[in-house]
Amino acid sequence: MSGIWNVEINDTSQKTGKAPTSPHKTIDVAKWTAKKKNAASDLWDLEHIDLVNACADFYLLMYLEIYQADEGKFTDHVTRLDELFSSYTDMAIGGELRHAKKKGAKTIPPMIRKALAGGILPTSRKSAWMGWYALRSRWGLKALEWCVETYSKPWAAGHYGGPKWGKIADTLRRRETGEYSPQMFVDICWGLEHNGGTYFGKYWADITFGHTLPAVLDAGRNVTDANMADSTLLPYASADVATLWAAHRSEIM
């Protein structure tokens, strides 16, 4: 197995915008497993966040920015979420590809088929996260295009792959090609769903956001005035954003 996983990863700064910690990096799944390495945090640089807070903050700060009352915090928040959601989306779509080994076959792109057959994208989700990192670092945007194509093939039906995962992968592709701005990307990500519900659940699987996040998202996208924001978004905001909102509340309508 180590022979399959010992993959050289070149500098990706010109390919994905997410360069690894060194110009050349190898992944040996046996060593990573032995050291209890975490693919999500150690490779993809993910951290645990309160999604409900983050969503409420996003729309409250967006509202404040309209009145030039956000003190620059909206841009900072968008930048942080753009980085986190880009990494998370990338990792999640790579993990889902592992199902194509049993469900798919000859219709999927050759390089994805080879990765599945060779064990670079194994049946374990977390190991597939490692393998996808290697593929993305080696092939950049091209690997992402293969991923989008894979989800459009006949194998992708029912509980695995399919149009919903295709939309998730294509959302990331559009972000990387510049078609979506960071703000547009984050706004779209809040509402993305896979076959089992909100797509955030592959890593940020916290039961507290299951029902609350959709409600906060709906409030954020439909808020029409500050009074409505007071009742629907403010109760879920972080302490810092709630303080900022209170400081500028008299300036907004």
pLDDT in tens, 167-179: 999 999 999 999 9
Cα radius of gyration (the chain): 20
Q: Which two tokens stand for residue 54?
A: 């983050």
Contacts of 174 (CB under 8 A, 6+ apart): 180, 185
Quote the CA–CA distance of 125 and 130 in Å, as a whole number. 9
Query: pTM of this prediction?
Result: 0.83
Specify the range with the lowest mean pLDDT, choosing from 25-34, 43-52, 75-84, 166-175: 25-34
**Count of Cβ atoms closer than 10 Å to residue 40 Cβ:** 20
Q: Which two tokens stand for residue 13?
A: 């700064």
pLDDT band at residue 34 under the 50/70/90 scheme:
very low
Quote the CA–CA distance of 63 and 43 in Å, as a whole number. 34
Element (H, E) at 226: helix 226-232
Specify the range with the lowest mean pLDDT, choosing from 25-29, 36-40, 155-159: 25-29
From residue 121, how far is each of 28, 96, 99, 118, 174 by CA, in Å?
13, 10, 9, 8, 24
Specify the range with the lowest mean pLDDT, choosing from 88-92, 157-161, 181-185, 236-240: 157-161
From residue 32, how far is each of 4, 10, 28, 97 by CA, in Å?
14, 19, 6, 21
Predicted pLDDT at 240: 97
SS3 labels along 29-59: HHHHHHCCCCHHHHHCCCCCCCHHHHHHHHH
Output 80 or 103, whichever has higher pLDDT: 80
Closest by CA position to 186, among listed 103, 62, 21, 102:
62
pLDDT band at residue 10 under the 50/70/90 scheme:
very low
pLDDT at 160 over 80: no
pLDDT band at residue 9 under the 50/70/90 scheme:
very low
Closest by CA position to 87, among listed 16, 15, 4:
16
Predicted pLDDT at 6: 40
- pLDDT mean over 172-196: 94
pLDDT band at residue 18 under the 50/70/90 scheme:
very low
Output 68 or 33, whichever has higher pLDDT: 68
Residue ranges of domains in the chain: 37-251
Maximum distance among all Cα pairs of the chain, rounded to whole angstroms? 63
Please, are residues 91 and 47 in contact by the beta-carbon 8 Å criterion?
Answer: no
pLDDT band at residue 154 under the 50/70/90 scheme:
low
**Count of Cβ atoms closer than 10 Å to residue 17 Cβ:** 12
Predicted pLDDT at 163: 81
- How do residues 117-141 score in pLDDT, each as one tens digit? 888 888 888 889 999 998 999 999 9
Specify the range with the lowest mean pLDDT, choosing from 95-104, 123-132, 161-170, 214-223: 95-104
